[in-house]
Amino acid sequence: MSTKIYCDIADLRSIKKYYKMDLVKGFTTNPSLMRKAGAKNYENYSRQIIKICKKKPVSLEVFSDDNSSMFNQAKKINSWGKNVFVKIPVTNSKGKFTTEIIKKLCDEKIKLNITAVYSSAQTKKILSSINIDSEVIISIFAGRAGDAGLDPIPEIKQSIKYSKKFKKVKILWASVREPYNLTQAKQLGCHLITVPPSIIDKIKNFGKKNNQLTLETVKAFLKDSKKSNFSI
């Protein structure tokens, strides 16, 4: 199974650039990325993203913290396009699981991306609240787990095992820190990985041999030392 690459992004100009790449199969974003990109009106900005990405899936996140508002936002976001997956955090800010909302939205056949997942126990809880034919992405924050000194690999492995009987559930490696994470995601059997633009640009180095990389590195050192007019 090949791991599909999504781009984690919010800047409209950059989205247009990466949408044209065959390598990029979809897009994810979140309120933090949208704020950084200068979005002022959530709906207007989201609709611009959807318009650019009309033939590729886009995950857009709710930003409410209570069940009722979260449900209403999810329904509204879902109505903006057929290629939309609604991102729902696995818990709210008080630590309460959102499985009740997840179940209600799945019952209405709304495509979901469950975000901020860190453990296989959370994955199991999500799966217990969805239908066998629900279309759901489960985003496991591998990079952030690693930043905290936790090993995400066992959690992803177990999450993939748990999800096997759900044919429309996809496990996504999120919070990528380096290009090698794509290799890891492939080895584990992740269905998806979402990657920031800076890492996508580095993936073009894939396929180079060790000797070629050595030569390129030595040439770069030599070039910079000449520019600096170093002498001993």
Q: How many CA atoms lie within 13 A of 46 on its CB side?
A: 27
Cα 72 to Cα 53, 79, 104, 107: the distances in Å are 24, 11, 11, 14
CB 185 within 8 A of CB 216: no
CB 27 within 8 A of CB 57: yes
Active-site hit among 4, 20, 87, 204: 87
Cα 91 to Cα 102, 122, 125, 166: the distances in Å are 11, 9, 11, 22
In 3-state terms, the chain is what percent helix, strand and coil (to 5)? 45, 20, 35
> Is 87 assigned a catalytic role?
yes
Catalytic residues: 87
